[in-house]
């Protein structure tokens, strides 16, 4: 009846099942989960004392709080002892994040995403693979690392530096990464090698996505989940938490909008301060589900602003200008907590205080397309003092709609400045930061680029470096740039051309059999062809890996002990190992350690002791915790008073051990961690006393004027091009597969829901172009092409379409421009111009099996 | 009205029995793996488009919704293959879903299910579609619930 096998009974964990604490591997929210494992062949009973849940299963569970155990929360895995084990992964009942065992459709599939040769995840990589005779052939780790170290050493011996060694690697938590693997990767490339051509998983450079905030003294993770429950107003700017941080929305924002958190508000507010149900402002070109749900609850307390693409920073400055005009600020706060010399510049250039208000607002209306009355209403909801003169409490949350916008630096800076002008950072119910995508777990030696163009940057665009024909070794770790990088169609073609050039060279007269001869021929071929030796280290044979020369199998979440923090509370917890990795797959830190030791071996053989020692960074790492502690020691002294927390890196966990984390379990500890009386103490909310600058004062910045669109997009706005490419396109992801598609592309439970990437188009445009739900459409521009299935929806307004990124059958990034913000090298993934046409004919099977009901309609 | 297995054979004819008895060991992991009762839940002639009928199945503590969609559906019965039934407990956290505007909507966390597509989750937090209740139609138009394809929320076993 349905497309996937369903179940009507699940195994019950017996009382002697192993129980582990973990956190969902996927999104920023980091919901707590419990894992139960036991050998196949036994089961527990229904009575509470007969099962490991300790729950009476004889009667149905109570909705909203009872045990949650759904069909996707069970699977069977094989361990290295050769035996089969049941694995049950259910939402924890003691998490401060996912109250009442709430969970998303993604976290609920952690169990079926585990590796098994008997299920869809049999696609996991087990052994190292070497391209030989234009086919992947299995080799050992020793052989793989001998080849890789030989090539890397050959390149640096010749060059005398690491300029031709290019890397693209994850820098996040969760997803099988975490502090341990970040420290491993960072140690290899920054302690062993001195790599400067390195890029982060989702962008072409090694940079922060929010230098516009950090360089003001505000790290992007500064609020706690509780702030969403007690805020007077929540601003969602280019962020759609219902789909990308679902439980943060349903357990922390939705109850606020429903007025269900008044008691908590009163507890956190000053005496006599008014508390009422929360207001929500959504600033987004689309009518996103986070907005339309709130409209269903309380239309009169929601406001939607739809700025023209790229104009958000002008809008943020305009809201701030209204706040300035209406005196929605605390002069004393500005004077004591912020840099007033820089404030004058901000007032002059960002707020344009010298331009008459009416003229200023008319200019803003013209640029942004947002009505003055709505801008003023937003300012009132954000910062107008409450009855009794109490400062309003507004939590401003932004994400990729701002980060992956045009002019990344100015967009982020404008929003955080708007928040600080209203004294909306560092108090209960306030904060200004990222929603987050994945979890975090960054701990690394110093990286090559200290900051934006104002602080030693901008960083190198490694995509451009490679597509320009530079670099010899390209090592990709835990990311799939063939789908994810901007202008990916061009990137893919160029990397394929360069890797194939080397493969063809190696194939002439046959690839040499002996290892050293193969290494020598690779080095010779790199010089002779301008080719690229590509190494991919990942869970699966990704699109990128299919063009690699060497593939290294990495282990995943649950296959080792790992640690990460979530984004909405900086909550550090231990994610306990509950199964073995497939075959000989290894943790990234271990691969990096072994690569380092192999490099050291090669240098030592030549008597180069000093070089050898550089690469022995991991010689004492035996366990996951060894790496965690080694990384933790790299943080500065944290035995400091609470008032100095702003001086610490946001993820500082120095002094925390696995034993401590086991003890605190799901309660975790909030980073940055300080040491008080020898014990680790967390930080609930940041910047209550000082900001993260040298003098502790918020550092204002004068944003640029509106200068129109960058050349890569502006070319589509003139003359014939404007006719040929008549639509604006914005991009994003979807609820069912948010942050999960590395596994979900293999799971029928998910591929059956989103068999293809989709395009959203307005009813008016759809009618004009003869498009209806379930049709196929091609979308194209000069950068590239992609095929999407059509969804007609009022989410987008006429003239704008939305397309899905990162789907394994095609990604919107084929069409995105190569533009990056000159201040930060962050791309604009979410805006360009395109043409769209119906592909003739149809796919009845797709139409019969896929839902095309409108995803943002809840009334 | 609960029918005995003997009676349901008389009502529906032998052709429908395969799914009723599909509880063999080989199918242990896939629904229907249990022996379900057959219960009359309506009659094709009395159903109106988009006017849901509520009933209990497979026991008194589990509500089901029977609805004639007016468009063909996966697993639909009746002349137009548009009559379907599902467990009404949201597969996210167990709240009762509503049939509204041609789809099922959970009022707790807003998961939405497409009744024509085996109640697949097309938006929201639930991890599986609503369990679909397999239906059979007798010659006189009586509709019988025969089995549940999917785990009813809050249970480790449907019956």
**Residue range A35-51, pLDDT digits in tens:** 999 999 999 999 999 99
**How far is residue A189 CA from its own chain's centroid?**
22
Say whether A6 and B62 touch across the interface (CB within 8 A): no
- Name the domain boundary from A602, A617, A632: A617
Q: What CATH number does the domain containing A801 carry?
A: 2.40.40.20
**Residue A415 near residue A405 (C-beta atoms within 8 A):** no
Distance from CA of B91 to the nearest CA of A (A): 7
Q: Which of A698, A730, A724 is CA-nearest to residue A801?
A: A730
Residue A66 at interface with chain B, using a CB cutoff of 8 Å:
yes
Same domain, A34 and A134: no
CA-based end-to-end distance of chain A: 28
Same domain, A744 and A809: yes
Helices A372-383/A357-368 angle, 10° precision: 100
Same domain, A427 and A458: no
- Structural domain contains residue A104: yes
Residue A109 at interface with chain B, using a CB cutoff of 8 Å:
yes
* The pLDDT value given to residue A792: 98
Say whether A61 and B153 touch across the interface (CB within 8 A): yes
Say whether B110 and A68 touch across the interface (CB within 8 A): no
**Annotated catalytic residue B61:** no
Domain ranges of chain B: 2-149
Mean pLDDT of A253-267: 98
* ipTM of this complex: 0.97
* The pLDDT value given to residue A103: 98
**Annotated catalytic residue B92:** yes
Same domain, A202 and A227: no
Say whether A853 and B114 touch across the interface (CB within 8 A): yes
A chain contacts of residue B117, beta-carbon cutoff 8 Å:
849-851
B chain contacts of residue A29, beta-carbon cutoff 8 Å:
none
Same domain, A600 and A454: yes
Same domain, A67 and A164: no
pLDDT over threshold 50, residue A538: yes
Same domain, A452 and A539: yes
Mean pLDDT of B50-79: 97
Same domain, A247 and A385: yes
> What's the pLDDT band for A81 if we cut at 50, 70, 90?
very high
Say whether A103 and B125 touch across the interface (CB within 8 A): yes
**Selected residues 77-106 of chain A with any CB under 8 Å from a CB in chain B:** 100-105
pLDDT by residue (tens digit) across A772-811?
Answer: 999 999 999 999 999 999 999 999 999 999 999 999 998 8
- What residues does A36 pair with on adjacent strands? A19, A88
Q: Which of A485, A663, A498, A496 is CA-nearest to residue A164?
A: A498
* The pLDDT value given to residue B6: 43
**What would be the CATH architecture of the domain defined by B2-149?**
3-layer Sandwich (2.102)
Which residue does chain A place closest to B114, by CA atoms? A851
Residue A541 at interface with chain B, using a CB cutoff of 8 Å:
no
Q: Which helix (H) or strand (E) holds A412?
A: helix A408-421
Distance from CA of A854 to the nearest CA of B (A): 8
Which residue does chain B place closest to A1, by CA atoms? B75
Question: Which one of B110, B115, B146 would you mutate to disrupt binding with A, by most A Cβ within 10 Å of its Cβ?
Answer: B110
Decide: helix, strand or coil at residue A728: strand
Distance from CA of A130 to the nearest CA of B (A): 38
Say whether B117 and A851 touch across the interface (CB within 8 A): yes
pLDDT over threshold 70, residue B11: no
- Structural domain contains residue A11: no
B chain contacts of residue A254, beta-carbon cutoff 8 Å:
109
Same domain, A361 and A462: no
> What percent of chain A is predicted at pLDDT more than 90?
98
> What's the pLDDT band for B5 if we cut at 50, 70, 90?
very low
- Structural domain contains residue A686: no
pLDDT over threshold 50, residue B14: no
Residue A250 at interface with chain B, using a CB cutoff of 8 Å:
yes
B chain contacts of residue A105, beta-carbon cutoff 8 Å:
92, 121, 124-127
Q: Which two tokens stand for residue A175?
A: 């997803």
* The pLDDT value given to residue A4: 79
Q: Which of B75, B152, B156 is nearest residue A12 as measured by Cβ atoms?
A: B156
Decide: helix, strand or coil at residue A694: coil
Say whether A71 and B150 touch across the interface (CB within 8 A): yes
Count of structural domains within chain A: 4
pLDDT over threshold 60, residue A387: yes
Strands (DSSP E) contained in A293-429 are: 302-305, 394-398
- Structural domain contains residue A624: no
Same domain, A286 and A423: yes
* The pLDDT value given to residue A3: 60
Rounded-to-integer distance, Cα A167 and Cα A460, Å: 12
Q: What is the mean pLDDT of chain A?
A: 97
Q: Which two tokens stand for residue A225?
A: 């989940």
List the domain range (segments joined by +) for residue A150: 129-208+447-617
A chain contacts of residue B134, beta-carbon cutoff 8 Å:
1
> What's the pLDDT band for A134 if we cut at 50, 70, 90?
confident
Catalytic residue among B109, B110, B122, B141: B109
Distance from CA of B65 to the nearest CA of A (A): 17
The 3-state DSSP composition of chain B as helix, strand, coil percent (nearest 5) reads 15, 35, 50
Same domain, A54 and A185: no
pLDDT over threshold 50, residue A1: no
Q: What CATH number does the domain containing A510 carry?
A: 3.40.50.740
B chain contacts of residue A101, beta-carbon cutoff 8 Å:
93
Say whether A102 and B109 touch across the interface (CB within 8 A): yes
Cβ neighbour number for residue A859 with a 10 Å cutoff: 10
Distance from CA of A241 to the nearest CA of B (A): 11
> What percent of chain B is predicted at pLDDT more than 70?
82
Distance from CA of B41 to the nearest CA of A (A): 19
- Structural domain contains residue A308: yes
A chain contacts of residue B96, beta-carbon cutoff 8 Å:
63
Distance from CA of B23 to the nearest CA of A (A): 11
* The pLDDT value given to residue A448: 87
Q: Which two tokens stand for residue A466?
A: 């490679």
* The pLDDT value given to residue B12: 42
Say whether A858 and B112 touch across the interface (CB within 8 A): yes
Same domain, A395 and A364: yes
Q: Which of B74, B150, B153 is nearest residue A6 as measured by Cβ atoms?
A: B150
């Amino acid at each position: 009846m349905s497309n996937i096998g369903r179940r009507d009974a699940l195994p019950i964990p017996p009382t002697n099942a192993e129980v582990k604490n973990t956190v969902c591997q996927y999104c920023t929210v980091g919901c707590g989960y419990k894992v139960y494992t036991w050998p196949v062949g036994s089961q527990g009973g229904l009575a509470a004392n007969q099962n490991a849940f300790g729950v009476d299963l004889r009667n149905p569970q109570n909705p909203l709080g009872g045990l949650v155990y759904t069909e996707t929360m069970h699977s069977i895995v094989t361990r290295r002892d050769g035996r089969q084990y049941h694995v049950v992964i259910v939402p924890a009942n003691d998490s401060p994040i996912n109250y009442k065992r709430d969970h998303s459709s993604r976290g609920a599939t952690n169990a079926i995403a585990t590796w098994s040769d008997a299920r869809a995840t049999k696609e996991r990589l087990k052994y190292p693979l070497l391209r030989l005779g234009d086919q992947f052939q299995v080799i050992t780790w020793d052989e793989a690392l001998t080849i890789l170290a030989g090539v890397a050493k050959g390149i640096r011996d010749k060059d005398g530096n690491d300029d031709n060694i290019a890397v693209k690697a994850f820098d996040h938590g969760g997803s099988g990464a975490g502090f341990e693997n970040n420290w491993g990767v960072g140690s290899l490339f920054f302690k062993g090698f001195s790599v400067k051509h390195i890029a982060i998983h989702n962008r072409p450079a090694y940079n922060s996505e929010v230098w516009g905030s950090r360089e003001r003294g505000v790290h992007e993770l500064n609020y706690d989940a509780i702030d969403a429950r007690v805020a007077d107003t929540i601003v969602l700017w280019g962020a759609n938490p219902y789909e990308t941080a679902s439980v943060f929305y349903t357990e922390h924002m939705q109850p606020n909008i429903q007025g269900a958190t008044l008691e908590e508000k009163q507890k956190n507010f000053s005496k006599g301060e008014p508390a009422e149900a929360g207001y929500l402002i959504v600033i987004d070109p689309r009518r996103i589900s986070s907005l339309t749900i709130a409209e269903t609850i309380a239309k009169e307390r929601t406001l939607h602003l739809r700025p023209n693409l790229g104009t958000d920073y002008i809008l943020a400055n305009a809201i701030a200008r209204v706040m300035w005009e209406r005196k929605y600020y605390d002069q004393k706060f500005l004077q004591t907590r912020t840099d007033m010399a820089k404030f004058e510049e901000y007032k002059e250039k960002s707020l344009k205080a010298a331009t008459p208000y009416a003229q200023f607002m008319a200019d803003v209306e013209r640029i942004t397309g947002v009505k003055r009355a709505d801008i003023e209403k937003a300012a009132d909801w954000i910062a107008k003092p409450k009855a009794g003169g109490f400062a309003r409490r507004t939590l401003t949350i932004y994400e990729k709609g701002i980060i992956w916008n045009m002019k990344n630096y100015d967009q982020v800076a404008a929003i955080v400045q708007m928040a600080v002008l209203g004294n909306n950072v560092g108090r209960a119910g306030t904060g200004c930061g990222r929603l987050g995508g994945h979890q975090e777990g960054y701990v690394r030696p110093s990286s090559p680029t200290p900051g934006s163009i104002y602080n030693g940057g901008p960083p190198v665009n490694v995509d451009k470096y490679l597509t320009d024909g530079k670099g010899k070794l390209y090592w990709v770790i835990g990311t799939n740039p063939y789908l994810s990088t901007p202008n990916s169609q061009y990137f893919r073609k160029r990397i394929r051309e360069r890797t194939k050039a080397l493969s063809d060279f190696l194939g002439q007269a046959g690839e040499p059999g002996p290892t050293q001869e193969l290494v020598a021929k690779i080095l010779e071929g790199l010089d002779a062809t301008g080719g690229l030796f590509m190494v991919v280290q990942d869970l699966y044979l990704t699109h990128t890996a299919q063009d690699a020369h060497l593939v290294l199998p990495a282990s995943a979440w649950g296959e080792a002990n790992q640690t990460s923090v979530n984004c909405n509370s900086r909550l550090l917890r231990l994610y306990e190992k509950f199964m073995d990795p497939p075959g000989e797959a290894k943790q990234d830190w271990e691969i990096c350690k072994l690569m380092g030791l192999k490099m050291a071996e090669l240098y030592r053989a030549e008597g180069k002791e000093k070089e050898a020692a550089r690469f022995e960074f991991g010689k004492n790492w035996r366990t996951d915790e060894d790496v965690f502690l080694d990384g933790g020691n790299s943080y500065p002294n944290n035995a400091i008073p609470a008032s100095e927390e702003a001086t610490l890196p946001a993820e500082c966990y120095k002094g925390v051990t696995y034993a401590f984390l086991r003890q605190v379990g799901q309660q975790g500890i909030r980073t940055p961690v300080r040491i008080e009386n020898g014990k680790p103490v967390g930080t609930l909310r940041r910047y209550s006393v000082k900001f993260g600058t040298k003098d502790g004062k918020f550092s204002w910045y004068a944003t640029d004027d509106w200068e129109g669109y960058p050349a890569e997009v502006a070319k589509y706005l003139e003359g014939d091009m404007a006719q040929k490419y008549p639509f604006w396109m914005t991009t994003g992801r979807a609820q069912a597969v948010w942050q999960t598609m590395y596994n979900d592309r293999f799971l029928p439970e998910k591929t059956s829901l989103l068999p293809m990437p989709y395009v959203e188009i307005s009813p008016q445009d759809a009618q004009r172009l003869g498009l209806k739900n379930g049709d196929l459409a091609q979308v194209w521009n000069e950068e590239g092409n992609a095929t999407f299935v059509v969804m007609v929806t009022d989410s987008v307004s006429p003239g704008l379409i939305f397309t899905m990124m990162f789907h394994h059958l095609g990604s919107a990034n084929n069409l995105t421009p190569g533009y990056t913000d000159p201040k930060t090298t962050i791309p604009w993934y979410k805006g360009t111009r395109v043409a769209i046409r119906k592909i003739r004919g149809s796919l009845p099977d797709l139409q019969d099996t896929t839902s095309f009901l409108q995803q943002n309609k809840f009334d | 009205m609960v029918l005995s297995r003997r009676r349901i054979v008389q009502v529906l004819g032998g052709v429908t029995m395969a799914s009723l008895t599909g509880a063999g060991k080989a199918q242990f992991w896939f629904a229907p793996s249990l022996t379900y009762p057959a219960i009359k839940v309506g009659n094709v002639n009395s159903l109106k488009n988009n006017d849901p009928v509520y009933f209990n199945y497979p026991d008194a503590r589990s509500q089901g919704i029977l609805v004639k969609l007016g468009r063909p559906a996966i697993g639909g019965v009746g002349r137009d293959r548009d009559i379907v039934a599902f467990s009404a407990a949201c597969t996210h956290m167990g709240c009762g879903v509503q049939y509204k505007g041609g789809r099922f909507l959970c009022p707790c966390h807003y998961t939405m299910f497409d009744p024509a597509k085996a109640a697949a989750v097309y938006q929201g937090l639930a991890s599986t579609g609503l369990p679909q209740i397999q239906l059979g139609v007798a010659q006189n138009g009586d509709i019988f619930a025969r089995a549940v394809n999917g785990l009813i929320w809050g249970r480790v076993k449907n019956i």
